[in-house]
């Protein structure tokens, strides 16, 4: 977890990977949860029991490692934002639910949020989030990102696997799912090369596979490719 000094907008990684995802975005105007894929007790612990500081929760898709505690988050009074397909799959409703649409921007607590489609095996979105000074792109559980972004200052992107680090004997069906639903190191480097990184101050690599990734190698490769500070989210 990267606890650098609070800047205009700061990204924190608490839990990352197939066992659960939980991230936070802070600014002077508010604080967002991105994903709620661990138990409510683990969320409370990560946030030092300051749930009241959270303005809203953004949920990318309905896989449990991204939304396990969404009902508990809502019961705690936190508005939850997700696409209609995610809400339907979770059978989640109520006055804390806010349906969002891909490529339709909305605002919450001083943040402008633009959801964009991801390429996964279920419907989902990534998020482009800005507060007028900083701009973050968040994308995980996708095997590539089709969009280019301008003026980014923080990048938080899945880097799940690489051919160099695939586990020996990985069964073909798992390998095919990996190729078609999660972003590889090579795809990450292509995504970063396609975007303007001139204002980027930090890159976070998320959702590394336990069996098919090497954090030190991935960090080194992305630093060499970009010349930017790179942080690798810890596995649970």
d(CA 66, CA 34) in angstroms, rounded, equals 9
Model pLDDT, residue 160: 94
Among candidates 24, 103, 40, 101, which has minimal Cα distance to 75? 40
Q: Are 233 and 16 in contact (CB under 8 A)?
A: yes
Q: What is the pLDDT of residues 85-129, one digit of tens each?
A: 999 999 999 999 999 999 999 999 999 999 999 988 899 999 999
Q: What is the pLDDT of residues 188-201, one digit of tens each?
A: 999 999 999 999 99
pTM: 0.93
Q: Looking at the domain assignment, is residue 46 inside a domain?
A: yes
Q: Residue 206: which domain range?
A: 9-232
Q: Looking at the domain assignment, is residue 4 inside a domain?
A: no
Q: Looking at the domain assignment, is residue 205 inside a domain?
A: yes
For residue 126, the domain's CATH number is: 3.60.15.10
Q: What is the pLDDT of residues 51-64, one digit of tens each?
A: 999 999 999 999 99
Number of structural domains the chain divides into: 1
Q: Looking at the domain assignment, is residue 2 inside a domain?
A: no
Q: Looking at the domain assignment, is residue 1 inside a domain?
A: no
Among candidates 139, 173, 166, 175, which has minimal Cα distance to 155? 139
Q: Looking at the domain assignment, is residue 115 inside a domain?
A: yes
Buried b (16+ CB within 10 A) or exposed e, 100-118: beeeeeeebeebebbbbbb
Q: Looking at the domain assignment, is residue 3 inside a domain?
A: no
d(CA 12, CA 166) in angstroms, rounded, equals 27
Q: Looking at the domain assignment, is residue 74 inside a domain?
A: yes
Would you say residue 12 has pLDDT above 90? yes
Judged by phi (left if over 0) then psi (alpha if -120 to 50, else beta), residue 206 lies in beta
């Amino acid at each position: 977890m990267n606890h650098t000094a609070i800047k205009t907008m700061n990204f924190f990684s608490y839990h990352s990977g197939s066992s659960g995802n939980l991230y936070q975005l802070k600014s002077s105007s508010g604080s967002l949860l991105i994903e709620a894929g661990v138990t409510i007790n683990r969320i409370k612990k990560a946030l030092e029991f300051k749930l009241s500081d959270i303005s809203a929760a953004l949920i990318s898709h309905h896989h449990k490692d991204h939304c396990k505690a969404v009902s508990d988050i809502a019961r705690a009074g936190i508005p939850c934002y997700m696409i209609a397909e995610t809400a339907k799959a979770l059978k989640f409703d109520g006055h804390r639910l806010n349906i969002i649409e891909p490529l339709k921007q909305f605002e919450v607590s001083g943040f402008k949020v633009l959801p964009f489609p991801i390429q996964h095996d279920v419907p989902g979105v990534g998020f482009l989030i800005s507060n007028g000074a900083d701009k973050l792109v968040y994308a995980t559980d996708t095997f590539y990102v089709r969009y280019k972004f301008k003026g980014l200052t923080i990048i938080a992107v899945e880097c799940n696997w690489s051919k160099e680090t695939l586990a020996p004997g990985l069964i073909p069906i798992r390998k095919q799912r990996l190729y078609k639903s999660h972003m590889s190191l090579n795809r990450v480097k292509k995504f970063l090369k396609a975007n303007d990184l001139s204002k980027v101050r930090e890159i976070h690599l998320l959702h590394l596979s336990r069996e098919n990734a090497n954090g030190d190698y991935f960090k080194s490769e992305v630093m060499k490719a970009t010349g930017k500070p790179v942080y690798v989210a810890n596995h649970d």
